Structures are given as C-alpha cells and as structure tokens.
Chains A and B, each alone.
Chain A
Amino acid sequence: DAGVTQSPTHLIKTRGQHVTLRCSPISGHKSVSWYQQVLGQGPQFIFQYYEKEERGRGNFPDRFSARQFPNYSSELNVNALLLGDSALYLCASSLDRGGGYTFGSGTRLTVV
C-alpha cells in the first residue's frame, strides 16, 4: 500500500514568492495534518483537516493556508515567503480524528 506521499520533495523559492505543497494521504484516511520542522527542532503543528474542514490551526501567520479536497488530499500554501520559512514540511494522515499519524517524507523548502 502506498504511504503518505508529498510533492515536490525539494524546492527552492525566492523571498516574497508563494509556494504550494501537496499531500496525498493513505487511502481511506480522512484526517490530514501539516507540520513544519526547522533544522534541529521538532515538528511544529500548522494545520489539521478532517473531512475537508479545518479542525485545528497552530501558531502560524495568515500567510499560511491550507485546504483539503473531496478525495482527502491536501495543499499547504505559503504566501510572501520569508527566509525563516525554510524548513521540512511534513504531512501526516490518520484514519480518523485520533490515533497515530503516518507521516510522509516531507517537502524540503529552501527560501533564498
């Protein structure tokens, strides 16, 4: 079975640009969460979606937004990129609103 897939795996953006990261959850998983992991730190919660509704939002500015589609895949959008947005962005899915999350391999974003 395919795990959580994220695309792209790496990308480089310039300050001020916007970026869209994509995530496909494990088949049948209805809950998707996004995390930001800055080098040397633990992941920080950004968003959680369940059944296409936002269920939780972490302490991130409004430049960060996300959505979940009818097939439960998800996008994370970041506008007006800053150097500090450089990080590994992880997507995780779960069968329901609780339980252990399965993480993807992440998207490495570098802002220059």
Chain B
Amino acid sequence: AQSVTQPDIHITVSEGASLELRCNYSYGATPYLFWYVQSPGQGLQLLLKYFSGDTLVQGIKGFEAEFKRSQSSFNLRKPSVHWSDAAEYFCAVGERTNDYKLSFGAGTTVTVRA
C-alpha cells in the first residue's frame, strides 16, 4: 500500500521569502503525485500534479514541484511567498492500478508573517 509523509507539521515563513514543503512517498510503482492547498473551512484546490515526463512541474499561484524518484520525494516550492499563501498544504499519491485512489499526507500548515 502506498503512503505519504509530510515531515513538517508547521512552517512559518516571512512574506517575500522562499518556501519549500517536503513530501516523501512510498509506492511500489511509478506514482501519480499531487499537491493540494486548503484554506480554513474550505475544500481542496489542486496546485499541480505529476503523471509522467518532465520531473519539474509548474502549477498555479507560482508553485512548482520536483519529482525525484531516487529520493521518493515530490517537494513543493515557491520563490516568493505572499500573505495569501497561508493555508494547509497536502501532498497526495494516486494509485495507477486502483482507479487512482488518492492517499494524502497529514498536511503542512504554512503561516506567513509580515
């Protein structure tokens, strides 16, 4: 069975600073990988996804993520954080062989300070 680990429960970053959120996955085959963002009381919004091809994936809101098979990682980055980026971020892995059921990490809460 697949699993996702997000090592950082909470990250505080200054506005304008760079952000990197870590995600490690365990899956027996080539995974489908996703990053979602959730604002308080809201559903999940897809930031980006990796299915195949270029291992550097560009997403919405200026986010990007890099798939590193050797490290089983799919870290999310943003060069310059805005106050509106304060939210909870979830990494997820999809099973190619099970209609792409998503398994989520526990999430990382991002606080942005002025």
Contact = CB atoms under 8 A, between A and B. Distances in A.
Interface of A: 4, 31, 33, 35, 40-45, 48, 50, 55-56, 58, 90, 92, 94, 97-106, 108
B99 A104 contact: no
A56 B98 contact: yes
A106 B36 CA distance: 15
Most-contacted residue by chain B among A4, A55, A100 (CB, 10 A): A100
A50 B99 CA distance: 9
B103 interface: yes
Nearest to B48: A100
List 4 tightest A-B contacts by C-beta distance, closest first. A42-B104, A103-B44, A105-B43, A103-B43
Chain B, interface size category, equals: 20 to 34
A44 B106 CA distance: 10
Interface in B24-57: 32, 34, 36, 41-46, 49
12 contacts: A42-B4, A42-B105, A42-B106, A43-B104, A50-B99, A56-B99, A56-B101, A90-B43, A92-B44, A98-B99, A99-B100, A103-B46
A50 B107 CA distance: 28
A14 B90 CA distance: 31
A31 B99 CA distance: 10
A104 B43 contact: yes
A98 B43 CA distance: 20
A103 B42 CA distance: 10
A55 B100 CA distance: 10
B99 A106 contact: no
Nearest to B96: A98
